[in-house]
């Protein structure tokens, strides 16, 4: 889970929207999986997913504005 999140953040830094989108999808899936197994609390999972989605939305809107 943490590795997927790091790959997502690296894609944001590299300004690569396609790999950021795929890394976000994988991260959200892994966070849900981890929460369903009881490794992290479901509220923690929702908070992490929300923060990642906010980062992606800000990135996507900044790329759209530049284009």
Per residue in 12-40, pLDDT (tens digit) is 999 999 999 999 999 999 999 999 999 99
Short-list 27, 23, 25, CA closest to 11: 23
| Number of separate domains in the chain | 1
Parent domain of 47: 2-66
Global model pTM greater than 0.85? yes
pLDDT the model gives residue 67: 60
Contact in structure between 64 and 15 (CB atoms under 8 Å): no
Tens-digit pLDDT profile for residues 44-54:
999 999 999 99
Q: Are 23 and 7 in contact (CB under 8 A)?
A: yes
For the chain, the residue count is: 67
pLDDT at 63: 83
- Where is pLDDT greater, at 37 or 67? 37
């Amino acid at each position: 889970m943490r590795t997927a999140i790091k790959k997502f953040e690296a894609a944001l830094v590299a300004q690569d929207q396609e790999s950021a989108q795929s890394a976000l999808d994988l991260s959200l899936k892994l966070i849900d999986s981890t929460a369903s197994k009881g490794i992290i609390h479901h509220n923690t999972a929702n908070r992490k997913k929300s923060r990642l989605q906010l980062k992606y939305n800000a990135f996507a809107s900044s790329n759209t504005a530049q284009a």
